Each structure stands twice: as structure tokens, then as C-alpha cells.
Chains A and B, each alone.
Chain A
């Protein structure tokens, strides 16, 4: 499992490897929590790649409901059909209704699509943005892996999709939902692993630059920042410096490009106050 994931360019540690293995064996969703940019969303696409299964993504937002997440009826096409039937003189209302609520007028949204597609990886991204009702709805779906549509009947996935849920912890997700899942907390990676990720994602960037950038980000992360940079930012920074033609970075260049890593003015100011040259020197980089 680990090797397959790493083939996709996504590096996993023991914990995450075990989580993925158990998710497949026990058909439990993985519930991913952690700071922004630590690879929660990327895990789902890596799993899809590793299993050679399509990734089906549901992005949550406040007020999301079943018609956006599960299915909806294609109203315009139903109307067209009704008009066409009228034109040909069909008057049997029962028959018409049967035709109108036919599978072909059903629009599958991500959750239904995931049940219909086999195998598949379902990513329910940022569940903390949805509200309580939606959590309850999702809980039901994830325990049965089946859906009942009144007009059509019940659809059950014989092999349930591999499910990844992510949360940025803007809100505590209900425990009943988490209980169904394998809980994995994503820490920021340590130096060695982060460097490995950068090297894997950006093979063209010089080894020295990758090492320096990783060193700097690790140092920034230990600061008390409003938004500590994630792996995503490390990669962005290294890519930006590489695009500038740099093979290595000094304190001056680092400060000039801080915008790739830090998203708040307060954080940038704070970083300016640090002795970045000393940070680089300490690593011997």
C-alpha cells in the first residue's frame, strides 16, 4: 500500500500507511484533521492514483444539502419530456409520471456517483464547513452505503467506495460521525520527510535549494504565526525561487519572496524580524 501511494508521489509515514490499509480492509472512512496544507486533500487523490480508481470529490460548504451532494432531478429535461409527450397525445398521467422519474432524468451528485462507480475514492472535503443536518445525513449514508430514492428504489454499493473526509477544525465535527471513521491527525512533517516531499514533488529543483527552503519553513513553523505554512507553501516557495533561477537562497532573497509562504502581513513582519541568515547557517546549508 505504502509503495503504491509513494508511486503517485505522495509520501506516507507508518501511521498514514496503517490508516490507508485499515480503510481498505475494514471499509472505514479516514477522517483527516490537521492544519491547512499538510496533505489531507492530496491523500485522497494519491489513494485514487494508487488504486487506479476515479476520485470523486464533494466540497462542503455551509448550507450544503442532499440535492447538491446526493442527487437532483433534471427539471428542464423533465419539462421537455412532458411537452413532447403532450404533443404525441399521451394522456395517461400514471404512465407519464413513471417516465418522468426515470433514471435518465436523475442527476447524480458526488455521493450518488461514488456509490454508482466501482471502485472509487470519495473525498468529502472540509466537512467542518457543512452544518449539523448534513453531518447526520452523511453519517447515515456512510453506515449503509446505500441510498433510497423514493421514485426509483434503493441503490446499494456492493463494494463501498474508499472514503476520505477532511476537516480544518474550524468547527468540531460531531462525534457520532467520527466514531465511524479512522481518525488521523496530520502533523506538519519533520525536516527529513518534508525535504523528501519537496524533492519528490519538484525533482528539477536543486538539492541545495530544496534543503534550504525546508530549513527555513521548519524554522518559521516553530514561530508563533497566525497561519503556519504547510507543505503546500514549502513547495510553492521552492518552485517560486526555482522559477527566479535561484540554485540557493540567502536571507535577502528569502525575505523578498516571503509572500509565497506567509499569508498574513503580521506573519511576514514577524519573519522579517528573524535572523534568517543564522537559521540557514545553523543547518550548515
Chain B
């Protein structure tokens, strides 16, 4: 870690920079209430950035990033204009005016060096951006604007520069790179851009061998689930708590439903950056000083504050496919109870993804179940967990629903689709969510091992793997959602 070092190293090094006489505080001494007016003088970031010479580039002229100023690399060559004009030329003016319009007025994009040809080249770049969007890359107006500016400060017409300008400004994640590569080749021809290729994402890791052995042991080790003593003392409710839902008769089922209705599911709390006054906690210097001042400097008590806590959002995905049929009713009632918390979202998965949060918001559980039955089109069908999880992430999760949330998957992991897809989507989910919990009703069966290919592919991205077959197991699940430590997951690769 040469030079980077922690703490002290850089703290003093500030002296090397100029700290005086440039950004004076515009202090308003007349404002005694300690609150500043909005100045309204905020420059737009683009105005700030234009026309200033960054420290490394005092010399005029176009220094290429690689250091050789006007020289063209022989292997890249100055690409003929036709080359970068591209095959994705857009009809000028049709592309969402904002992107282009934002860049050109007075800006360097319309520089005199590029009269009509410049406009044509821009149309090609806009066409390229549009093709990227069609391929699923979020090349939004703001990004396209940056792209045009980037191309403009680089060597115009040099293929590798266009390639990198686009890749740096239009992509927002590793998943975009492969699509970018493809669309770039389609628009600007196939030649590998200046000897640089994107390596394909590593194949998903399946470490079945390492996992299969130890896992079944967790069932036994899960000490708090002893089989209920057959003693007559145990109440019927207590017995029922531990019974596998799949084996209940009608009367027992009724009783179970009543017990399930009493559930509450609250997400683990997270500390927010906001603080609130509190009796205990760190000293709140701000309020303490203010109070001191109000008392004219008389010694006052120390006021304290603490972080405000907020429960995390809980997202529940319930598998309603055929293999889950014995459990679906109980699990959905569990989800209904869970959805009473305002920060809970519920989806069903099978062959379709259905958001059922609204249906479950009926207070009356039987009304809710009826609404749900009408809304869900795919009861007892097959399972396409990977595909549906991708749909969930694309449509809801990525935009914020899964972000920082506790996500609970209630499924046996029998995947009809490609387990690798499920594995990949689970990794995505894992990166977004605060915690991923998988409850599998079949986990409690003697000798259970996550042999279902889907389950095996998903496990490395699961933080807590729990049972889900009985009331007791669901209580345990609720505790884990609240943040209780689960039994560790074998083979999960949380670093």
C-alpha cells in the first residue's frame, strides 16, 4: 500500500496544496439565527467544468491520453471519417433533443472544425447510444451528454477513443460491458478496439462438492428445534407449532391459520445517519452549546443524541409452484401477516412474477387470500425462479425495492429453468440487498441436502438458510428477519 497509507499520511500533506485566497467563505454576519439563505448562485456543473485548465494540462493542444500529442498510433491509425460515422446513424434531431441540445449550444461539440461532418458524426454517436439503450444499457440523456463531450476532447475519429469514451460514460456496471462490446461492434465494425477486449464475466461458481457433505448436519445442529415431547402435557398448539404443515388434517389446518394470523414480521433495524435527541448516547455538541449560550454561559447539562433507527424494508417472494403446493397456503398467510408492516412487499413466483402486496393489504385474511387467488395466474405450475428473479430485479429490485432490504425467498429451490441463471440473479440480489434469507420447507426433512440444482446455485448468495415447514420454523424465520443470528450457511462466500 505504498503511499496510500491510512489516516495520518495525508492529513498533514494538505500543506502542499494552496488553501488560501480562493474560495472565501461568503459569510453573512447579519444572519444570527444560524441558518443561511439559499444563495441561488449555484453554477451549473457544466459551466464550472468548461474553460478551466486542469492542473495536468497547462499546455494547449490536444494531448492524447496516452501521451503522444498529435501522433496517431499506426495500429489504430486515424480512422477514416466513414469508419466512426458508424452504421447506427440516427436521424438528426429525432433523438431526444435534450441529450444533443444540451451539448451543442456554444459548446465545443459544434466547433468550427467539424461543420456538416460534425453533425453527422454526432448523429452516429446518438444512434449508437440509442442502440445501446435498445440492448438494455441505461444510456440516459445525462450519460449521452457526457459521451459527446468526452468524444470531443479526445482525438476525433479515432476508433479506440470513441470506444473508451463511450464505455466510460455510457456504462454503469460490469453487466453493461458485454452488451456495450456487442453494440459497439455492430455500430462501428468488428475490429477489436486497439487491442483491448472485455473478458467475459467469470462463469458462476458452483461448489457443490464442498457443500453437500456438511449441510444436512445443520438440521440436527439447529438445536432449538427438538421434536416436541410426546408428553400429554404439551398443548395441542405447542404440538402443532412443530408439525410439518404438509401433513396436517383440516382441523389442524384451521388452528394453524389462527396462529399464523398473530404473526408480525419486522425488518432488522438499521442505523440512519440522522440523529435524534436522546437520554443516552454521544454528546450533542450543537444543542449543548446552544443551551449554554441561552443561559449566558451557565454550566448546563450535556445534551445527548443518538442515531435514529429504522426497520429495513422486507421483501418476501413466495414460490407458488406445484412442488410447493402443500405449503403455499400457510406461507401466503404468513406473508399476509408480514405485509401488515408498511415496509413489506410481497411477490409470488412460479411461472410468472406477480406483485401481491396490494391484494394482501386487506385486513381480513380470507378476503386477502381470495383477492390473491384471483390475481395470481400461475398456481401450481412450473418454476422459473432464475428468470422471475431477474424480472423482479429489473423491474423493482434494482430501482430501490431490494436495496438495503431484507429479502426473504420462500421456496424449495426446485428450478425448472437454468440453475446458472438463478445463481447469477441471486448474486445480483445479494449485492443489492442487506440480507438474503432463504426459507425452504423441505430443509427440515431428514437427510435433506440442497441437491436441487437451483438451490445449490442459489446458496452461495444466501446469508441465512432456514426451514419453513412449520409454525415454529416460521417464528424462527421471523426472528432471523428481525436480525437474530441464523445458523451459519455452509459454503456461502461472504468475505
Query: B-contacting residues of A (Cβ < 8 Å)?
Result: 1-4, 9, 13-15, 17-22, 24-28, 33, 41-42, 44-45, 48-57, 59, 62-66, 73, 75, 78-79, 82-83, 85-86, 91, 93-94, 96-98, 100-101, 103, 113, 115-120, 123, 131-134, 137, 143-146, 148-160, 162, 169-172, 174-175, 178-180, 182-185, 187, 201, 224, 226-227, 266
- The answer to whether B56 and A120 touch across the interface, beta carbons within 8 angstroms, is no
A-B contact count (CB 8 A): 259
Determine if B171 is an interface residue (Cβ-Cβ < 8 Å): yes
Take A14-B194, A22-B153, A66-B273 as given contacts and tell me if A75 and B285 are in contact as well, using a CB distance cutoff of 8 Å: yes
CB pair B286 A73 closer than 8 Å: yes
Question: Is B333 among interface residues, defined by CB-CB distance under 8 A?
Answer: no
CB of B157 to closest CB in A, whole Å: 15
With the chains together, A131 CA to B165 CA distance in Å? Answer: 29
Given pairs A62-B271, A184-B168, 4 additional interface contacts (CB within 8 A): A22-B153, A119-B55, A170-B431, A178-B172
Pick the interface stretch among B32-40, B219-227, B374-382, B470-478.
Answer: B32-40
A-B contact pairs, 8 of them (CB 8 A): A18-B168, A21-B153, A54-B10, A57-B6, A73-B286, A94-B32, A96-B297, A117-B18
- Return the chain B residue nearest A225 by Cβ: B205
Shortest Cβ distance from B42 into A: residue: A144
Q: How far is the CB of B354 from chain A (nearest CB, A)?
A: 24
Interface residue ranges, B against A (CB under 8 Å): 1-4, 6, 10, 13-19, 22-23, 25-29, 32, 34-36, 39, 42-43, 45, 48-49, 52, 54-57, 63-67, 138, 140, 142-143, 146, 149-150, 153-154, 160-161, 164-165, 167-169, 171-174, 177, 194-196, 198-199, 203, 205, 207, 210, 270-274, 283, 285-286, 288-289, 292-294, 296-297, 307, 398, 403-404, 428, 431-432, 493, 495
A45 and B2: CB pair below 8 A? yes
Report yes or no: A101 in contact with B65, Cβ–Cβ below 8 A: no
Residue of B nearest to A54 (CB): B13
- Given A53-B55, A86-B297, A157-B23, A78:B42 Cβ within 8 A: no
Known: A57-B4, A57-B10, A172-B403. A103 touches B25 (CB 8 A): yes
Given contacts A54-B16, A56-B14, A175-B172, contact A18 B143 (CB under 8 A): no
Task: Establish whether residues A2 and B16, one from each chain, have CB atoms under 8 Å apart when the complex forms.
Answer: no
Query: Which residue of chain B is the closest to A176 with respect to CB atoms?
Result: B142
A153 x B28 contact (CB < 8 A)? yes
Complexed CA–CA distance, A94 and B296 (Å)? 10
Q: Are A17 and B65 in contact (CB under 8 A)?
A: yes
Q: How far is the CB of B398 from chain A (nearest CB, A)?
A: 7
A224→B207 contact, CB < 8 A = yes
Cβ-neighbour of A19 out of B14, B138, B149, B164 (below 8 A): B164
B172 pairs with A183, CB closer than 8 A: yes
| Smallest CB-CB A-B distances: 5 pairs | A21-B65, A75-B285, A117-B17, A65-B273, A18-B164
A78/B289 contact (C-beta < 8 A), A14-B66, A44-B4, A158-B23 known: yes
In the complex, the answer to whether A115 meets B34 with C-beta atoms within 8 Å is: no
Q: How far is the CB of B343 from chain A (nearest CB, A)?
A: 14
> Are the C-beta atoms of A150 and B35 separated by less than 8 Å?
yes
Which A residues are CB-close (under 8 A) to B196?
Answer: 13-15
Name the distance in Å between B98's Cβ and chain A's nearest Cβ.
14
- Between B19, B48, B177, B205, the greatest number of chain A beta carbons within 10 A of the residue's beta carbon is seen for B48
Q: Which residues of A contact B54 (CB under 8 A)?
A: 24-25, 27, 159, 162
CB neighbours (8 Å) of B285 from chain A are 73, 75, 78
Tell me which of B16, B39, B274 contacts A53 (CB under 8 A): B16
**Contact of A63 with B146 at beta-carbon distance under 8 Å, contacts A18-B161, A172-B173 already known:** no
Q: Are B23 and A156 in contact (CB under 8 A)?
A: yes
**Cβ of A160: which chain B residues have Cβ within 8 Å of it?**
48-49
Task: Flag if A63 contacts B273 (CB, 8 Å).
Answer: yes
CB distance from A223 to the nearest CB of B (A): 10
